[in-house]
């Protein structure tokens, strides 16, 4: 994908949490997961699955600038650290990325065969005073799974988690 791996991401997240606390600035974390990724591998083979991952990587690299840090977290999961970005700003970035990926057409360069639409679901969490990297990741991951539960190809936040808990 051309993106840093999980180890580099973990180190970067820890450093950005320290910096955000020292500078008293917001920090937002996004976790993205390719929707129905197994379908691409099972229907078209692992080479097409690899192309899906590369497509997501290219979009993330093209859309995230400055101190924003995208990484491949593992499998079909990607993480993005957004320094000096609050939750609303993180949602705006997530939605831009989600829409950009959904607009891409994935097809065979050789035959022109369409492989279908690629979509992602995203979870978004912002740094809280008591957070560790792990607790922030857990909240973003729970928001990601809420997005999957609500039908995929969407962004959910830590605020959505609270609303879902209240609703029962």
Active-site residue set: 76
Taking each helix axis as running N to C, give the angle between helix 46-63 and helix 87-102, from 0 to 180 degrees, rounded to the nearest 10: 130
Q: Which long-range contacts (CB under 8 A, 24 or more apart) does 143-148 make?
A: 143/31, 144/31, 144/32, 144/33, 147/121, 147/122, 147/123, 148/33, 148/35, 148/121
Q: Tell me how far apart the alpha carbons of residues 165 and 159 are, in angstroms, rounded to a whole number.
A: 10
- Whose tokens are 């990607």? That residue is 78
Output the CA angle 52-107-3, nearest 5 degrees. Answer: 25
């Amino acid at each position: 994908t051309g993106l840093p791996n999980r180890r580099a991401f973990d180190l970067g997240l820890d450093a950005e949490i320290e910096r955000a606390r020292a500078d008293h600035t917001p920090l937002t974390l996004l976790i993205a997961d390719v929707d129905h990724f197994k379908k691409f591998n099972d229907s078209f083979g692992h080479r097409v699955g690899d192309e899906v991952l590369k497509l997501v990587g290219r979009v993330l690299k093209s859309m995230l600038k400055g101190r924003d840090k995208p990484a491949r977290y593992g499998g079909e999961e990607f993480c993005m650290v957004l320094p000096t970005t609050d939750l609303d700003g993180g949602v705006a970035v997530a939605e831009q990325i989600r829409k950009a990926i959904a607009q891409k057409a994935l097809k065979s360069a050789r035959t022109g065969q369409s492989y279908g639409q690629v979509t992602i679901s995203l979870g978004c969490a912002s740094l809280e005073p008591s957070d560790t990297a792990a607790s922030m990741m857990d909240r973003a991951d729970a928001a990601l799974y809420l997005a999957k539960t609500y039908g995929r190809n969407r962004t959910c936040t830590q605020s959505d988690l609270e609303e879902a808990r209240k609703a029962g």
